[in-house]
Amino acid sequence: MVKDRTLILKIYVYLVFTVGVAVSFYVLTTYRDISLLGVVLFSILIFAADNLSAPLPKAGSVSVNFGISLASLIIFGPSTAIIVTFVSIFNIREFVKRVPYYKHLFNAGQYLISMGVASLVFKIIYNQNVSNFFDTKNIAYILAAAYIFFFLNTLLTAGAISINEGINFANVWIFNFAWLIPFHLFLAAMAIAISFLYKQYGEFTLLFTSLPLMIAQYTYLLRVKERQALLNSILQIVKIMEAKDKYTAGHSVRVAEYSEKVARQMKLNEYDIELLANLANLHDLGKIQVDLSVLNKPGSFNKADWEEVKKHPLVGYNIVKEITFLKSEASAILHHHERMDGKGYPDGIKGDEISLYSKILMVADSYDAMTTDRPYRLALTKQEAIDELNRNSGTQFDPKVCSIMVELLEGEQAV
Ligand SMILES: [Fe+2]
């Protein structure tokens, strides 16, 4: 299965690269309007912008370089734009990271196809209406070129990620790219401003017009890095917490892996899967306030011990609800010990009062707890744990989530 995917990916990459080269060749031989000054100036800008680009959740990156290539298309025409786009492929960070050669081939191919097709369409429609720069039709044609580029670029990239990771194509596109639709409107507006001022007042205007693009790029990069740093430090706390107790080491990471698999099988979109995986990693964060002597106590818990342990969902919820990008579903942590029959804690809610995220966490958490050694009992075998899941389906676990988890586990067994 994985071998098949690798072969399909290779065929896909070579196909995209070949089509990209063919489209560029056609553009360069049809429109011999290369401006040396344009190539040099816009290549410098694109090179700077591209190396400030921010990574996307699953793959790829967000860069304002399209705004710059589009401006070069409006000012100088298709051939200059194709060469400027070609320069954007040389991203220093990727070369330093020694990104495999086929990624470079793919990037080159998809950028050249996207810019080549956008340029050709733009040249055909725009040439007929050159009288007034701010003519409504002209603006509409620039936007058309911008969105032809956007859709080709993102659909081709989503195709590669989908083949590579075996994830549903629509999920990849929605998660990684759909939110960039308005961002491209901003890039198109910037390209219009850059090209208007360049045509009107000359090349020195680039110094001022490209600045907002660079600032936008840098701000976004900082935001992504900040979010990742916050998440990493919280995960570090969870690791330290789990390391204190040999029985729960790695528990949260495994719960996150199970939750992600179940969510993917349930066809949740990639936004929700990512959110759930983050919540799963933090689901027992509240144990930092639970007395360690209780957590590590051999033998069974008395009433007071249970009261102590039952604090952790609320403590965890109170921390996670303060994290901007997790707060919308932080209640999943509050309710990860609620049962379908209402006999769970802390609120004793039941059935569909419990969110889907909590239901998934409950099943993933319970399965991992059953299959690891605890102070008071040894781990169950995989089959014993599956039987236990089935026995408690409907009372403790949501039947749908439970049957998907069992299906996944049995599938693993068959491999
Ligand atoms: Fe818990």
Phi, psi torsion values for 397, nearest 5 degrees: -105, 150
Give residue 383's pLDDT.
93
Question: From ligand 1's centre to the CA of 312, what distance in Å?
Answer: 7
In this predicted structure, what is the pLDDT of residue 364? 97
The predicted structure's pLDDT at residue 261: 92
Which of 159-173, 197-211, 256-270, 398-412 is modeled with the greatest confidence? 398-412
Which tens digit of pLDDT belongs to each residue from 249-280? 788 989 999 999 999 888 887 778 888 999 99
Backbone φ/ψ region at 56: left (φ over 0), alpha (ψ -120 to 50), beta: beta
Q: What is the pLDDT of residue 59?
A: 47
- Pick from 263, 271, 308: nearest CA to 408: 263
Distance 363 CA to ligand 1 centre (A): 11
Give residues whose Cβ lies within 5 Å of ion ligand 1. Answer: 284
- pTM value is 0.69
The sign of the torsion formed by the CA atoms of 331, 334, 337, 343 equals negative
Contact predicate 74/195, CB 8 Å: yes
- Non-local (6+) Cβ contacts of 316 within 8 A are 282, 283, 284, 285, 286, 287, 333, 334
Binning pLDDT at 50, 70 and 90, where does residue 1 land? low
Q: Which two tokens stand for residue 266?
A: 């349930």
User: How confident is the model at residue 46, as a pLDDT?
Assistant: 82
Residue 62, pLDDT > 70, answer no
Q: What share of the chain is helix, strand, coil (3-state, %, to 5)?
A: 75, 0, 25
How many angstroms separate the CA atoms of 362 and 350, rounded?
Answer: 13
- For residue 392, the model assigns a pLDDT of 96
Any bridge partners for residue 54, and if so which? 62
- Residues 206, 191 contacting (CB under 8 angstroms): no
- pLDDT on residue 53: 65
User: Which domains are delineated in the chain?
Assistant: 2-226 (1.10.1760.20), 244-414 (1.10.3210.10)
Judge if the upstream peptide bond of residue 346 is cis by omega within 30 degrees of 0.
Answer: yes
- Reported as a single tens digit per residue, the pLDDT across 288-309 is 888 878 877 777 778 888 899 8
Whether 401 has a pLDDT exceeding 90, the answer reads yes
Could you tell me what percent of the chain has a pLDDT over 90?
39
The CA 296 to ligand 1 mean position distance, Å, reads: 14
User: Residue 55's beta-bridge partner residues?
Assistant: 61
Whose tokens are 């997790």? That residue is: 326
Residue labelled with tokens 């990742």 = 228
Position 394 scores a pLDDT of 95
CB 150 within 8 A of CB 184: yes
- pLDDT at residue 29 greater than cutoff 80: yes
Is residue 132's pLDDT more than 70? no
- Please give the structure tokens belonging to residue 20: 């990209």
CA of 229 to the centre of ligand 1 (A): 24
CA–centroid distance, residue 413 to ligand 1 (Å): 27
Q: What is the pLDDT of residues 98-130, one digit of tens each?
A: 667 788 889 889 999 999 999 999 888 876 555
Q: What is the DSSP letter of 324?
A: T
CA of 88 to the centre of ligand 1 (A): 48
Half-sphere exposure of 310 (CA within 13 A, CB side): 14
pLDDT of residue 415: 41
The DSSP code for 131 is S
